[in-house]
């Protein structure tokens, strides 16, 4: 587990840059997500090469459908609830569903320390994002949006657990990610074409989409897959909550945004929780004993 958590956090750092890069593109969010998956998934499939066929299994093909469906559920959620609430529910529920699926399907029961650190991380994530909430939707629309966000969190957990299971059984992580995201690319290609691709003629937009596909999807999931070789998937899902922290910090540094007191408190709580969950067992005990 020595370098696994670092690889997962590095992947989450790349995910956290996606929002800022997406601001350079004029396309709507669904078209952008589709282009990102098509480019990134194709790159991951090409990287896997001949190993791709050996990694294909019914469970991974179903997980590839989950990868594509997650994108659609996430954007359906934020369009109904607002960005802050939709993101909090989708990202925050992911580690919870991941821990539960690992326990129910594969008898990998997360320990109490993981549960406490994950709870603290989710609370910090919520404070960080809701601290800048734009209000979102109300009533029935909000309820439907929350349901889509929860479904998105479950879909993320399913494909993460499926990938971890395949890697744990000896499949190469790059090949597993090639199956997941190459399959999702095939599914999302019609979505991209139906939304139109004329916006890709803009050089700035094309460069941004290339980064989103190659950097925040292909490279990040290579790192995430390699992190799963030695990191329990429940722990990896919690570490991935560093994504909104990176996005918030980029907003401050690049976009000249401001964090309120609630968001700052959430950022601190999230950072502490992630350090605790990433540390090896003995180091975590010492770290917890040193806290006031």
Cα angle at 52 between 48 and 57, to 5 degrees?
A: 145
Q: 256: left (phi > 0), else alpha (psi -120 to 50), else beta?
A: left
Closest of 12, 73, 4 to residue 241, by C-alpha: 12
pTM of the model: 0.84
CB atoms under 10 Å from CB of 167, counted, come to 23
State the chain's mean pLDDT as an integer. 83
- For residues 40 and 285, give the distance between their C-alpha atoms in angstroms, rounded to a whole number: 39
Tell me the residue range of the domain where 70 lies: 4-290
In the prediction, which pLDDT does 287 show? 45
* % of residues, the chain, pLDDT over 70: 85
Lowest mean pLDDT among 53-57, 84-88, 115-119, 142-146: 84-88
- For residues 134 and 118, give the distance between their C-alpha atoms in angstroms, rounded to a whole number: 25
Mean pLDDT of the 129-154 span: 72
pLDDT at residue 290 tops 70 = no
In the prediction, which pLDDT does 291 show? 45
pLDDT at residue 209 tops 90 = yes
- For residues 245 and 269, give the distance between their C-alpha atoms in angstroms, rounded to a whole number: 11
Specify the higher pLDDT residue, 171 or 29: 171
**Count of structural domains, the chain:** 1
Specify the higher pLDDT residue, 15 or 106: 15
Lowest mean pLDDT among 47-61, 109-123, 153-167: 109-123
User: pLDDT tens digits for 253-283?
Assistant: 776 767 777 777 777 777 777 677 666 654 4
Give the 3-state DSSP-derived string for the chain, with helices as H, strands as E and coil as C.
CCCHHHHHHHHHHHHHCHHHHHCCCCCCHHHHHHHHHHHHHHHHHHHHCCHHHHHCCHHHHHHHHHHHHHHHHHHHHHHHHCHHHHHHHHHHHHHHHHHHHHHHHHCCCCCHHHHHHHHHHHHHHHHHHHCCCCCCCCHHHHHHHHHHHHHHHHHHHHHHHHHHHHHHCCCCHHHHHHHHHHHHHHHHHHHHHHHCCHHHHCHHHHHHHHHHHHHHHHHHHHHHHHHCCCCCHHHHHHHCCHHHHHHHHHHHHCCCCCCCHHHHHHHHHHHHHHHHHHCCHHHHHHHHHHCC
Closest of 135, 14, 138 to residue 83, by C-alpha: 135
């Amino acid at each position: 587990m020595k370098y696994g958590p670092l690889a997962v956090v590095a992947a989450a750092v790349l995910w956290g840059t996606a929002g800022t890069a997406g601001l350079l593109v004029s396309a709507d969010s669904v078209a952008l997500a589709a282009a990102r998956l098509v480019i990134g998934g194709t790159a991951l499939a090409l990287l896997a090469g001949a190993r791709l066929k050996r990694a294909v299994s019914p469970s991974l093909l179903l997980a590839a459908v989950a990868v594509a469906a997650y994108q659609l559920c996430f954007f359906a959620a934020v369009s109904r609830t607002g960005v802050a609430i939709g993101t909090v529910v989708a990202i925050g529920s992911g580690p919870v569903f991941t821990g539960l699926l690992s326990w129910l399907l594969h008898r990998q029961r997360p320990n109490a320390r993981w549960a406490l650190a994950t709870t603290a991380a989710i609370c910090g994530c919520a404070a960080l994002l809701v601290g800048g909430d734009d209000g979102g939707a109300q009533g029935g629309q909000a309820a439907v949006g929350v349901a889509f966000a929860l479904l998105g969190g479950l879909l993320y957990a399913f494909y993460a657990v499926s990938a971890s299971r395949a890697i744990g059984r000896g499949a190469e992580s790059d090949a597993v990610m090639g199956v997941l995201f190459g399959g999702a690319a095939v599914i999302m290609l019609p979505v991209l074409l139906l939304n139109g691709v004329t916006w890709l003629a803009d050089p700035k937009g094309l460069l941004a989409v290339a980064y989103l596909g190659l950097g925040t999807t292909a490279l990040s999931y290579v790192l995430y897959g390699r992190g799963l070789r030695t990191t329990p998937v429940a722990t990896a899902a919690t570490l991935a909550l560093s994504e909104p922290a990176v996005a918030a910090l980029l907003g401050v540094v690049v976009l000249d945004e401001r964090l309120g007191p609630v968001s700052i408190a959430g950022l601190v709580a999230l950072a502490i929780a992630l350090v605790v969950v990433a540390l090896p067992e003995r180091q975590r005990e010492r770290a917890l004993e040193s806290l006031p």
